């Protein structure tokens, strides 16, 4: 086993992070769709109730274990995740790379998302608000959170972000989108260095990875554990609290059925590769993360964690490294897809 913590460079920038980050959506706590948002009012948009003290300890443990890249968003818990991250890092902020996102509007007091806004005026206002919640003087990676912004609006958004870079307020920026055309349009800018998109062993994204190669972007893998499906803890009989997004999944969340049970087709896919992923001493989670590293040297998975045990299991994957070529071929064969 290789105990070294491998590194990744964020695209064309000089920003270097570890090959695994830590996602913070889950620590944001309850949040719902409000009037004006694209989903029915009251739709849950978080992972339910959280214990902030446990979240703080989990983040601290992640830093102890070598994590230096933390991904958050202003809308996670309507600002709460950014506040908890700031509390957890405290004086340990130096040497840590923080990525946050903008584009969703929200009511922090009501814990509701209310719409979207990517105008230059709003971008700067959202940046200042995130900076205050993060208790910091700059943001390392600032990411557009709205994946379907029209391509013709890209220049206006990027110009606003370039001004933040020129003012020394952000080091670089990126886009959270699953559309290769949009990623490519953004990627022509010199300060654009990363694209974030869905990528896990059950949901490959070859076109997005090819785009990241073409534009020299880091590939930040969101949902690397398929929202907990790849932990192996959930089945078709599982039930989750009503304030958990997985209990009332929107159309894009395919892994879970209403109520929080695993959708049968996804449960079957997981069963087919479980043995390969958990071979060689790895846990299922560690095998799923190992697949992402083997998929491309640009990848940075950002699994979320709310407990010490989750952090330790996730970061424990580093010691095993990526899956081997034969294991990757076997996974593709079992899932009925062509080898990447």
Q: Per-block average pLDDT, block size 10, for the chain (340 residues)?
A: 73 92 98 96 96 97 96 98 97 90 98 98 98 95 98 96 97 98 94 98 98 97 98 97 96 94 98 98 98 97 97 97 97 89
Tokens of 25: 């959506």
Q: Tell me if 221 is assigned to some domain.
A: yes
CATH number at 294 reads: 3.20.20.100
Please tell me the distance from the alpha carbon of residue 91 to that of residue 111, in angstroms, as a whole number. 28
Q: Tell me if 71 is assigned to some domain.
A: yes
Looking at the structure of the chain, the number of domains it has is 1
pLDDT of 2: 41
Q: Tell me if 208 is assigned to some domain.
A: yes
Please tell me the distance from the alpha carbon of residue 189 to that of residue 194, in angstroms, as a whole number. 11
Q: Tell me if 163 is assigned to some domain.
A: yes
- Domain of residue 65: give its range: 7-231+284-321
Q: Tell me if 122 is assigned to some domain.
A: yes
Unique residue bearing structure tokens 């990241």 = 212
DSSP 237-278: T----TTBGGGS--TT--SB-TTSPBPHHHHHHHHHHHHHHT
Residue 221: strand pairing partners: 197, 301
Q: Tell me if 249 is assigned to some domain.
A: no
Q: What angle do CA 140, 144, 145 make, to 5 degrees?
A: 115
Q: What is the 3-state secondary structure (H, E, C) of 64-117?
A: HCCCCEEECCCCCCCCHHHHHHHHHHHHHHCCCEEEEEECEEEECCCCEEEEEC
pLDDT of 3: 46
Q: Tell me if 185 is assigned to some domain.
A: yes
Q: Tell me if 269 is assigned to some domain.
A: no
pLDDT of 141: 98
Q: Give how far the C-alpha of residue 297 lies from the chain's centroid of Cα atoms, to the nearest Å.
A: 17
Tell me if 193 sits within 8 A of 273, measured CB to CB: no
Question: What pTM did the predictor assign?
Answer: 0.96
Please tell me the distance from the alpha carbon of residue 164 to that of residue 176, in angstroms, as a whole number. 18
């Amino acid at each position: 086993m290789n105990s070294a913590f491998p590194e990744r460079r964020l695209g064309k920038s000089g920003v270097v992070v570890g090959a695994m980050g830590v996602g913070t959506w889950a620590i944001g706590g309850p949040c719902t769709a409000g009037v004006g948002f694209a989903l029915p009012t009251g739709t849950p948009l978080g992972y339910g109730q959280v214990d902030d003290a446990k979240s703080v300890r989990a983040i601290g443990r992640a830093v102890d274990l070598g994590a230096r890249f933390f991904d958050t968003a202003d809308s996670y818990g309507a600002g709460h995740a950014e506040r908890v991250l700031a509390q957890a890092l405290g004086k340990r902020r130096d040497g840590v790379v923080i990525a946050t996102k903008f584009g969703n509007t929200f009511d922090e007091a009501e814990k509701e998302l209310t719409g979207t806004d990517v105008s230059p005026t709003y971008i700067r206002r959202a940046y200042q608000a995130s900076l205050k919640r993060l208790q910091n003087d700059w943001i390392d990676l600032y990411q557009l959170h709205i994946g379907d912004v029209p391509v013709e609006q890209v220049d206006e958004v990027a110009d606003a972000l370039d001004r933040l870079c020129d003012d020394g307020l952000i080091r670089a920026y990126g886009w959270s989108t699953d559309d290769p055309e949009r990623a490519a349009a953004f990627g022509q800018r010199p300060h654009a260095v990363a694209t974030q998109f869905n990528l896990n062993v059950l949901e490959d994204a070859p076109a997005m990875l090819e785009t990241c190669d073409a534009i020299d972007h880091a590939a930040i893998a969101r949902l690397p554990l398929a929202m907990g499906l790849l932990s192996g803890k959930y089945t078709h009989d599982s039930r989750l609290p009503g304030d958990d997004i997985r209990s009332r999944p929107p159309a894009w969340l395919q892994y879970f059925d209403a109520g929080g049970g695993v959708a049968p087709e996804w449960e079957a896919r997981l069963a087919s590769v479980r043995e390969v992923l958990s071979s060689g001493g790895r846990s299922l989670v560690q095998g799923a993360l190992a697949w992402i590293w083997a998929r491309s040297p640009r990848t940075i998975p950002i699994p979320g964690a709310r407990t010490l045990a989750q952090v330790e299991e996730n970061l424990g994957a580093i010691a095993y490294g990526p899956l081997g070529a034969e294991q990757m071929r076997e996974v593709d064969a079992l899932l009925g897809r062509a080898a990447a």
